[in-house]
Amino acid sequence: MPYVTVKMLEGRTDDQKRALAEKVTAAVAETTGAPKENIHVIIEEMAKNNHSVAGTLSSDK
């Protein structure tokens, strides 16, 4: 039973997240042979003020 966690900054639409979940599920099913019904995709959204790159908060960009 594969579990896949995707962490990304907030701001994507439900349609974008739906498409991501569908494509990740398809890729995992294809590469592992696991049935789609057993694949779990967890999307964790991070607030932009809780993430930084090179010392700069994403909310400051």
Task: Give me the helices (H) in the chain, please.
Answer: 14-32
The C-alpha angle 8, 39, 51, rounded to 5 degrees, equals: 10
Instruction: Cite the active site residues.
Output: 2
C-alpha–C-alpha distance, residues 16 and 42, integer Å = 14
